Structure 1
Amino acid sequence: MVQIIANNRNRMDDMRMRAVMDHKQAEMMAFALNDPSKMPSVEEAYPFIKTVTKSVAEPEWKQDQLLLMQQSQKIKTARKFKKTT
């Protein structure tokens, strides 16, 4: 499953690279014909080029767990320091 995801990601990266190169070539051709105003942007020409970022919010219990672990570590350190003095 991981390999399939990696292969799909590589394929999409290749498609993005080709899209950018195609767009640059078309942009140069438009400049050569002296009409670049009608040239669509890369995102308009290739809608898949936009990378979708998935924002994964950390669950509240994870934040609570992290806070609890930090507090317990402070208590352990204080107890250890108390025993040594």
Structure 2
Amino acid sequence: MLEDLYPQAVQIGISSTDFWSMTFDEIMVQVEANKKRHENGLREKAMFDYSQQRMAIFAFNDPKNFPKFEEAYPFLAAIEKEVQQGLSEEEQHRQDMQRDQEIMMKNIQAIQATKERNKNKQ
């Protein structure tokens, strides 16, 4: 049964190495997920195509009032905000790591100094 599904599964995006380690239920879930992702991609492309055509007609008929990029694609501002937030979180993570490394280095130096003092006492 799986042998019959193999060509179709690979065709819709399941890697051949993953296919043989999956159960039938996992294969079906992956098939549905890939199908849904493809449908969403088609919807997205259709939305962009439609929007592009509307803007082309708008630009031809009323070029002085052509909408700005942000007005034509308002959802991109939200995506950019999320990206910026992610970048600031990454920077905060780097700063936290650097601070932790500095604390660790101070602790190592203190331990080495203590070992050196104990060594000199003996």
Larger RCO, structure (CA 8 Å, separation 6 or more)? 1
The TM-score, its normalising length taken from structure 1, stands at 0.40
